[in-house]
Amino acid sequence: MDKPLFIKIDPKDNVAIIVNEGGLPAGTAFPGGPTLVEHVPQGHKVALRDIAMDEPVLRYGVPIGYAVADIKTGSWIDESKVRMPVAPELDSMQLGGAVFPPAPPLEGQTFLGYKNADGSVASKNMLGIVPSVQCVSGVVAHAVKRIEAELLPKYPNVDGVAYLDHVYGCGVAINAPDAVVPIRTIRNLATHPNFGGEVLVVGLGCEKLLPTDMAPPAAVSTIVMLQDEKGFAGQVAAIMRLAEERLKRLNERRREVCPVAGLVVGVQCGGSDAFSGVTSNPAVGYAADLLVRAGATVLFSEVTEVRDAVWLLTPRAATKEIGQAIVREMKWYDDYLDRGGADRAANTSPGNKKGGLANIVEKSLGSIVKSGSGPIVEVLKPGEKPTKKGLIFAATPASDFVCGTEQLASGIHLQVFTTGRGTPYGLAAAPVVKVSTNSRLAAQWPDLIDVNAGTIATGEETIEQVGKRIYDLILDVASGRKKVWADVHGLYNSLSVFNPAPIT
Amino acid sequence: MDKPLFIKIDPKDNVAIIVNEGGLPAGTAFPGGPTLVEHVPQGHKVALRDIAMDEPVLRYGVPIGYAVADIKTGSWIDESKVRMPVAPELDSMQLGGAVFPPAPPLEGQTFLGYKNADGSVASKNMLGIVPSVQCVSGVVAHAVKRIEAELLPKYPNVDGVAYLDHVYGCGVAINAPDAVVPIRTIRNLATHPNFGGEVLVVGLGCEKLLPTDMAPPAAVSTIVMLQDEKGFAGQVAAIMRLAEERLKRLNERRREVCPVAGLVVGVQCGGSDAFSGVTSNPAVGYAADLLVRAGATVLFSEVTEVRDAVWLLTPRAATKEIGQAIVREMKWYDDYLDRGGADRAANTSPGNKKGGLANIVEKSLGSIVKSGSGPIVEVLKPGEKPTKKGLIFAATPASDFVCGTEQLASGIHLQVFTTGRGTPYGLAAAPVVKVSTNSRLAAQWPDLIDVNAGTIATGEETIEQVGKRIYDLILDVASGRKKVWADVHGLYNSLSVFNPAPIT
């Protein structure tokens, strides 16, 4: 057996997590620490001292809950032993005022990207195809197969086709107050910078979501309406003709030196475990700080994984108004869940718990460290595009593929995704860098995990070292010098547009 | 110009719709009828007599609304001239008690289907692959491509792979009251009869929706969990190995003579116009009556397209309890829309209106005639499987692809889909017979429309003739003797599982 290791995060903590793969057996003694009174699985918590019933269980220096019974030193603290606290009260938090560590600008940072006519940059050179309504999906999927087989090989400078299939567009209560979310999302997906302003919109002709709402302004010629075409043959021919026009122009594009300040990078976690908050997420946070210092934009998201730690974030709002906007998004989601008879405890999956996370409070404390240490300069509603550079809270659901879809709509050029349990998640329109929280997963999935942050738990690397590796990889991937595994295999999730409104 | 034609449905009607393609110009005189005072588009309503402000506008012999101003004989009545009535009150309707036309059983009706071990029959011989969670989607899509290219050609008796991709499974409030709907839907999709009990379930390993909830009982060996496999290569190999095991067994299956009584046929309309209620839908209703007389099961659906005509349906409930169940589903949907700040008026698309439908009342009156004339013997919640044979109301949203997904979960072997504006809709797991409401669409889309019911409007065929043609085609398609256009081209919509519950 390897040397027994545990990680205690904050001096105040009365629990630590076990590092060793497979966990550690009863009787294991830690020098100057507890002796295990029972087997404790990897990533799970051990009591560092006796904890009396109703005493707080402290991790990250704060209560992640309260002991439901007396807990002896060296015991395994699984989720059944921790009573979840109530959610932080939202009306009395500190808004702004945090003191930030020095963050001198990183000057002269560049990557090799594509320059768009509107001043934005691109990390990939994709032909984007956006349906206005699901009804057209079968025809477009057929046309995309033919485009990939017959046209793409002629245009080698184009990276591929991003077909943004979605299940919205008709049979929806388009005037319901919350319908603004899916409509904005699809509209902003269509103008993703990686499509170079050349998106092709395919509509049906009788739908509620109008294709003209999706095409870039003054580009109505980019729309195919299936009801106007002569049969299936005519529909496919029309799509392929407009696709080829675009491929020709996209094929002329070349990568150029661009400032990193043009990049928008999303961060997300999925299939988290107890290592997420001590390995991958702090390393991603370090990379986020580097990006922000280089002038770039970083979006962090996942409302239900922010909710219980929001009191740590609102002081970091650059202004009181930005703090209020964070609170507004928390309240919106509280209300949304409440209307559906649920609350934030619905987050945490069986896998999270298996990975050592007792509840959403512990998960959130580990989740928010992806945001690094800087001030929050803007808050976006789901699918909105940023208007500022720097660290931005982009409110989205926490569900991986929904957060990914909404961050894409917000214009991310690349996403950094941390995972402890493992998910083969990927996005067609923008590369996803997958970071494992533990070395077990990196070894299990060598052809899916791009960065192993598990080395932080074993002391082989520091947070700063892994964070710098992630930052460097972001620039390599955005420059087309390296490919993430999802792009090597072509592994792309379906888009899942967030629709809190009813359908008819 | 062809002879001017209009269709008046009920002797009491004070409006009729124009049949002629392109509509008819001002001055057109109908022998014994009105002279048009303005151009009236095809499918749109003309006033047959003067209608005073606030007088009912009568079509199908009932008010579809009230005149917002005086309307002169021969005027075009577009949707702006009709004030929508309030929705029928739900607590005082007649439940049961209708007198039915004689419907002698059709004896000895058969088709060539596959017989399943559980006693059900199949209209296609498909390899079904169901993910428990969207996270696995990229890997499964990759494996499906390889199965289609490398394995399927070796098993010529298998019709294809139905990959039931969906965006559910994790990041969802799985204990919210309404989560029962998507969970039931996915579970019942997995046991669709066209998969012959051989479904392959692909899970991740940390998701909320457990793969064991989806596999048929005693078939846990049908599950691949991606987190248990060695990398992407191992994941794809595992899926392909289990897929081939199933393909071998499915390939041994042969079509046999089966009673039509084993068939479950769904009916739906989408992209409706004013002809829907007088051509395609009555013909489908006639076919539905024939199916029921042959002992089969017919599902009709689309709550918001039933709601305003529900008072015509509840008397047809076979028992008072069934009538109450219809009312229960209407109320559930009223509440669901109300929670989201919408009502049933959110149904009717721009295309419906362009096609002459003034509002959801007129649309509903035309929609429900797909149910034919018989008694309603059961009511299903979204995605439930029937326990009876005969005419069944399967409550679903009206959105085409959502209704299709929910009817598939209820086990339809085939769907009959009527359309006036035109949609290239199709489903991978079960054939979709597309019926056009008008001859213009049939001519515009000759390689998409399977049956033209527009001949009823022009008097070339009767409702009974077209209905019999649809019935015969249903049996030919279910027997594999004929292919619908969607199957010829492989045009399949994405599944859209109805999820009224919140996501996290």
Chain A closest CA to B105's CA: distance in Å? Answer: 36
pLDDT range class, residue A217, cuts 50, 70, 90:
low
Alpha helices in B340-393 (DSSP H): 350-354, 360-367
pLDDT of residue B214: 79
Residue where the block lists tokens 């019999």? B468
Strands A432-436 and A390-394: unpaired
Tell me if B173 sits within 8 A of B502, measured CB to CB: yes
B 280-309 near A (Cβ less than 8 A) = 304
Q: Smallest Cβ distance to A424: which of B138, B172, B446?
A: B138
> Are the beta carbons of B446 and A231 separated by less than 8 Å?
yes
**Residue B327 touches chain A, beta carbons under 8 Å:** no
ipTM rounded to 2 decimals: 0.95
**Helix, strand, coil content of chain A in percent (nearest 5):** 35, 20, 45
Best A206, A210, A212, A447 residue to mutate vs chain B (most B CBs within 10 Å): A206
Residue where the block lists tokens 């108004």? A321
**Residue A87 touches chain B, beta carbons under 8 Å:** no
Could you tell me how far CA A41 lies from the centroid of its own chain? 27
**Would you state the structure tokens that stand for residue B380, as one six-digit string?**
């299903």
**Would you state the structure tokens that stand for residue A263, as one six-digit string?**
């990049």
Q: Does domain B126-251 have CATH number 3.40.50?
A: yes
Residues of chain B contacting residue A341, judged by C-beta atoms under 8 Å apart: 173, 176-178, 501
**A27 CB-contact burial (10 Å; exposed 0-12 / middle 13-18 / buried 19+):** exposed
Residue where the block lists tokens 């428990």? B132
Chain A closest CA to B30's CA: distance in Å? Answer: 30
Residue of B nearest to A335 (CA): B502
Q: How many CB atoms lie within 10 A of CB A188?
A: 18
Residues 6+ apart with CB under 8 A from B185: B382, B383, B405, B406, B409, B497, B498
The DSSP output letter for B92 is S
Residues of chain B contacting residue A231, judged by C-beta atoms under 8 Å apart: 444-448
Integer CA distances (angstroms), B432 to B237, B413, B447, B480, B493, in order: 33, 9, 14, 13, 11
> Are the beta carbons of B504 and A135 separated by less than 8 Å?
no
pLDDT of residue A213: 79
Pick the CATH number of A1-86 from 1.10.630.10, 2.40.50.140, 2.30.130.110, 3.40.50.150: 2.30.130.110
The whole-number average pLDDT for the span A375-391 is 98
Of the candidates A17, A24, A274, A448, which has an alpha carbon nearest to the alpha carbon of residue B227? A448
CA distance A177 to B340: 7
**Would you state the structure tokens that stand for residue B469, as one six-digit string?**
């043609």
We find that the CATH architecture of domain B1-83 is Roll (2.30)
Residue of B nearest to A306 (CA): B504
Q: Report pTM.
A: 0.96
Residue of B nearest to A339 (CA): B339
> Are the beta carbons of A350 and B171 separated by less than 8 Å?
no
B 251-270 near A (Cβ less than 8 A) = 270
**Residue B491 touches chain A, beta carbons under 8 Å:** yes
**B31 CB-contact burial (10 Å; exposed 0-12 / middle 13-18 / buried 19+):** exposed
Is residue A218 over pLDDT 60?
A: no
Of the candidates B437, B457, B465, B436, which has an alpha carbon nearest to the alpha carbon of residue B448? B436
> Are the beta carbons of A136 and B424 separated by less than 8 Å?
yes
CA distance B60 to B83: 17
Tell me if B489 sits within 8 A of A143, measured CB to CB: no
Of the candidates A296, A293, A288, which has an alpha carbon nearest to the alpha carbon of residue A463? A288
**Residue A26 touches chain B, beta carbons under 8 Å:** no
Is residue A200 over pLDDT 70?
A: yes
pLDDT of residue B212: 83
Residues of chain A contacting residue B350, judged by C-beta atoms under 8 Å apart: 206-208, 210
> Are the beta carbons of B231 and A402 separated by less than 8 Å?
no
Identify residue B171 by its one-letter amino acid code.
G
Is residue A219 over pLDDT 70?
A: no
Residue of B nearest to A405 (CA): B167
pLDDT of residue A221: 62
pLDDT of residue B137: 96
Pick the CATH number of A113-251 from 3.40.50, 3.40.1350, 1.10.600, 3.30.70: 3.40.50
**Would you state the structure tokens that stand for residue B255, as one six-digit string?**
């079509």
CA Rg value for chain A? 24
**Residue B102 touches chain A, beta carbons under 8 Å:** no
pLDDT of residue B219: 56
Residue of B nearest to A304 (CA): B504
Considering only A304-308, A460-464, B296-300, B346-350, which range has the smallest mean pLDDT?
A: B346-350
Q: How many CB atoms lie within 10 A of CB A35?
A: 12
CA distance B137 to A402: 13
Best B145, B146, B175, B206 residue to mutate vs chain A (most A CBs within 10 Å): B206
pLDDT of residue B32: 86
Residue of B nearest to A503 (CA): B397
Q: How many CB atoms lie within 10 A of CB B388?
A: 12
Is residue A1 over pLDDT 80?
A: no
pLDDT range class, residue A222, cuts 50, 70, 90:
confident
pLDDT of residue A2: 78
The whole-number average pLDDT for the span A375-400 is 98
Is residue A220 over pLDDT 60?
A: no
> Are the beta carbons of B226 and A337 separated by less than 8 Å?
no
Residue where the block lists tokens 């392909």? B240
> Are the beta carbons of B138 and A426 separated by less than 8 Å?
yes
Element of type H or E holding B110: strand B110-115
Element of type H or E holding B469: helix B463-478
pLDDT, one tens digit for every residue, chain B (504 residues): 579 999 999 999 999 999 999 999 999 999 889 999 999 999 999 999 999 999 999 999 999 999 999 999 999 999 999 999 999 999 999 999 999 988 999 999 999 999 999 999 999 999 999 999 999 999 999 999 999 999 999 999 999 999 999 999 998 998 999 999 999 999 999 999 999 999 999 999 999 998 887 766 655 568 999 999 999 999 999 999 999 999 999 999 999 999 999 999 999 999 999 999 999 999 999 999 999 999 999 999 999 999 999 999 999 999 999 999 999 999 999 999 999 999 888 888 889 999 999 999 999 999 999 999 999 999 999 999 999 999 999 999 999 999 999 999 999 999 999 999 999 999 999 999 999 999 999 999 999 999 999 999 999 999 999 999 999 999 999 999 999 999 999 999 999 999 999 999
- B484 phi, psi to nearest 5 deg: -75, 160
pLDDT of residue B65: 96
Tell me if A110 sits within 8 A of A257, measured CB to CB: yes
Strands A45-47 and A15-18: antiparallel
Integer CA distances (angstroms), A176 to A210, B46, B338, B345, in order: 16, 32, 10, 11
CA distance A352 to B206: 7
Each domain of chain B, given as residue ranges in start order, spans 1-83, 126-251, 264-489
pLDDT of residue B344: 85
Of the candidates B368, B385, B386, B369, which has an alpha carbon nearest to the alpha carbon of residue B377? B386
How many A×B Cβ pairs under 8 Å?
275
Kindly list the strands in the beta sheet with A82-83, ordered across the sheet, starting from the edge strand earlier in the chain. Answer: A56-59, A62-67, A82-83
pLDDT of residue A344: 85
Chain A closest CA to B407's CA: distance in Å? Answer: 16
Residue B325 half-sphere exposure toward CB, CA atoms < 13 A: 18
> Are the beta carbons of B205 and A421 separated by less than 8 Å?
yes
